[in-house]
Amino acid sequence: MSTLDLQAVGFRYEDMTMTFTLRVPAGGITALIGPSGAGKTTLLNLIAGFERPVSGRVLIDGVDMAGRAPADRPVTMLFQEHNLFPHLTAADNVGLGIHPGLRLAAPERARVDEALDEIGLAGLGRRLPGQLSGGERQRVALARSLVRRRPILLLDEPFAALGPGLRRDMLALVDRLRRAQGLTVLMVSHDPGDARRIAERTAFVHSGHILAEGPTADVLGPGATPEVADYLGEHV
Amino acid sequence: MKRLFLAFAFLTGGPAWGSEPATLTVLTYGSFASEWGPGAAIAKAFETDCACALAWVTVDDAGAMLARLKMEGASSEIDVVLGLDTSLMAEARATGLFAPHDLTLPPLTLPIAWDDATFVPFDFGYFAVIYDAEALATPPTSLRDLVEGNPDQKIVIQDPRTSTPGLGLLLWVRSVYGAGAAEAWRRLRGRVLTVTQGWSEAYGLFLAGEAPMVLSYTTSPAYHRIIEGTDRYRTAPFAEGHYLQVEIAGMLASSDVPELAAAFLAFVPSTAFQQTIPTGNWMYPVIDLGPALPPDFAALPTPAAALLHAPDEVAANREAWIAEWLAAMSE
Amino acid sequence: MSRLPPLVPGFVAAGLVVGIIGASLGALFVVGSGADGSILGDPYVRRIVVFTLWQAGLSAVLAVGLAIPVARALARRRFPGRTALLHLFGLPLVLPVIVAVFGIVLVFGGHGWINQALDRLSLGPLGSLYGLQGILLAHVFFNLPLAVRALLLALATVPGESWRLAAQLGMAPAQVFRFVEWPVLRQALPGIATLVFFLCFTSFAAVLTLGGGPAATVLEVAIYQALRLDFDLGRAGSLAIAQLAICGLVAAGLLGLGRSVAVTPELGRATARPDVRRGVGALGDGLAIAIAAALVALPLAALVARGLTGPLSTVLRDPAIWSAAGRSLAVGVSAAALALAVACGLAVATRELRLTYRVRHLATAPDMVAALPLATSVLALGAGLFALLHRVVAVFDVALILVAGINALFVLPYAMRLIAPRMLHVAEAYGPLCASLGISGWNRLRLVEWPSLRAPVGLALALGAALAAGDLGAVALFGTQDTATLPLLLYQRMASYRMEEAAVIALLLMAIAGALFIVLERGIGGREHP
In a domain, B27, yes or no: yes
CB within 8 Å of C17: residues ≥ 6 apart: C342, C369, C370, C372, C373, C409, C412
| C181: amino acid identity, one letter | E
Show residues of chain A in contact with C169, CB under 8 Å: 71, 96-97, 100, 148
Q: Is the pLDDT of residue B62 over 50?
A: yes
Predicted local distance difference test score (pLDDT) of residue A88: 85
A109-164 per-position pLDDT tens digit: 999 999 999 888 999 999 988 889 988 999 999 999 989 889 999 999 888 888 88
pTM for this entry: 0.85
Residue-wise pLDDT tens digits, B144-172: 999 999 999 999 999 999 899 999 999 99
Q: Do B102 and B176 fall within a single domain?
A: no
Q: Describe chain A by its helix, strand, coil percentages, rounded to 5.
A: 35, 25, 40
Whether B1 is in a domain gets the answer no
Domain presence at residue B255: yes
CB-CB under 8 Å, C159 with A85? no
With 50 as the cut, is the pLDDT of residue B6 above it? no
Residues B265 and B312 in one domain: no
The predicted-structure confidence for C448-484, as pLDDT tens digits, reads as follows 788 878 888 988 898 899 889 988 888 888 877 778 8
ipTM > 0.85 (yes/no): yes
Please give the pLDDT value at position B12. 39
Range 175-234 of C in CB contact (< 8 A) with A: 175, 178-180, 183
* Residues B232 and B321 occupy one common structural domain: yes
Kindly write down the DSSP assignment for every residue of B13-31, as one continuous string. Answer: TS-SSS-SPPEEEEEEEHH
CATH fold of A1-74+152-236: Rossmann fold (3.40.50)
- What local confidence, expressed as pLDDT, does residue C277 receive? 62
- Reported as a single tens digit per residue, the pLDDT across B304-331 is 999 999 988 998 999 999 999 999 998 7
Domain membership of residue B233 (yes or no) is yes
- The CATH number assigned to the domain with range C1-31+310-530 reads 1.10.3720.10
pLDDT surpassing 80 at residue B23: yes
Contact C496 B34 (CB under 8 A): yes
B194 and B255: one domain? no
At residue A57, the pLDDT reads 94
Lowest mean pLDDT among B22-31, C48-57, C390-399: C390-399
Of C299, C272, C329, give the one whose Cα is nearest residue C509: C329
Low pLDDT (below 50) residues in chain A: 235-236
Specify the DSSP element, H or E, that contains A89.
Answer: none
Task: Please report, rounded to a whole number, the percentage of residues in chain B having pLDDT higher than 70.
Answer: 94
Rounded to the nearest integer, the mean pLDDT of chain B is 90
Quote the mean pLDDT of chain C.
Answer: 85
State the CATH architecture for C33-266+278-308: Orthogonal Bundle (1.10)
List the single range of A82-91, B166-175, C219-228, C259-268 with lowest mean pLDDT: C259-268
Q: Nearest-CA neighbor of B240 among B193, B180, B163?
A: B180
Are B136 and B203 contained in the same domain? yes
3 state DSSP class of C511: helix
pLDDT at C18: 93
Query: Which among B35, B195, B197 is the nearest to C320, CB-wise?
Result: B35
Specify whether B252 is located in the same domain as B273: yes
Q: Can you give the pLDDT at residue C527?
A: 61
Q: Of A96, A99, A142, A146, which to mutate for an interface test with C (greatest number of C Cβ within 10 Å)?
A: A96
User: In terms of domains, do B251 and B104 share one?
Assistant: yes
d(CA A149, CA A140): 15
- B173 and B188 inside one domain: yes
Which amino acid is present at A211?
L
C25 band by pLDDT with thresholds 50, 70 and 90: very high
**CA–CA separation, C517 and C512 (whole Å):** 8
| Structural domain count of chain B | 2
Domain residue extents for chain C = 1-31+310-530, 33-266+278-308
In a domain, B13, yes or no: no
Average pLDDT over residues C332-354: 91
Instruction: Confirm whether C1-31+310-530 and C33-266+278-308 share one CATH topology.
Output: yes
Distance CA C296, CA C104 (A): 9
Residue B8 lies in a domain: no
Residues B198 and B309 in one domain: yes
Is B2 among the domain residues?
no
Give per-residue pLDDT as tens, B195-244: 999 999 999 999 999 999 999 999 999 999 999 999 999 999 999 999 99
Asked whether residue B9 is assigned to any structural domain, the reply reads: no
**What whole-number distance in Å separates Cα of residue A6 and Cα of residue A169?**
30
Per-residue pLDDT band at C276 (split at 50, 70, 90): low
Give me the domain span that covers residue B315: 126-244+303-330
Asked if B82 and B152 sit in the same domain, the reply is no
Domain shared by B179 and B323, yes or no: yes
Q: Are residues B316 and B187 in the same domain?
A: yes
- The reply to whether C113 touches chain A by the CB within 8 Å rule is no
The domain that holds B93 is classified in CATH as: 3.40.190.10
- Nearest residue to C422 via CA among C314, C373, C350: C350
DSSP state letter for C271: -
Residue in C162, C170, C172 closest to A85 by CB: C162
User: Of all helices (H) and strands (E), which one includes residue B36?
Assistant: none
